[in-house]
Amino acid sequence: MVFEPEAVPVEHDEFLEWYSRQTKWSEDHGYDDPANTSEHLRGWLHDMVQMFPPMNKPVSLDAPPVDENSSTDYAIGRDFIYASFAWSKSEAAYMTVARLAEKHRLGLFNASSTGEEVWVPGDGQMVLAHDKGPQTIAGRIKNFLNFD
């Protein structure tokens, strides 16, 4: 999910509550029209569909993708776009999502990640705003021993 950084809470638990509300799909519009979202998010979407074409209309390309596994389901909200990719494309998709989020100065939440990392634009690069906690073995040991 990419999002407008100003639209989300800054604390991790509150962010997850915001995320949960957004993915109830309760906004008063369909989730397939880029006109319903911000200029930055539309720019990100325009760049994304060049490599990961949408499965649904009205966001579409004239020709079907050469690799059907690249087809992506996009849910377009006012302050976010949620993209679902084929598992076989997940690594390439994540790298593309992150690169384009940075380009368009958007936040990024990898909903599939175990660490629940939330990234936001910083001074010329994406910075980790917050996450569930350390996921490395060293981080887990530090957490267990209660070290900072």
Residue among 78, 116, 77, 72 at smallest CA distance from 97: 72
Strand extents, DSSP E, 6-137? 73-76, 80-84, 107-109, 118-121, 126-130
The answer to whether 6 and 80 are in contact (CB under 8 A) is: no
- Both structure tokens of 36: 């319903």
Write the pLDDT tens digit of every residue in 62-82. Answer: 445 556 667 889 999 999 999
| The predicted structure's pLDDT at residue 131 | 85
**What CA–CA distance (Å, rounded) separates 121 from 23?**
22
Residue 84 confidence class, pLDDT cut points 50, 70, 90: very high
Write the pLDDT tens digit of every residue in 15-33. Answer: 999 999 999 999 999 999 9
Taking the alpha carbons of 115, 8, 5, 74 in that order, is the dihedral positive or negative? positive
Average pLDDT, stretch 84-98?
Answer: 91
Write the pLDDT tens digit of every residue in 37-61. Answer: 999 999 999 999 988 988 866 555 4
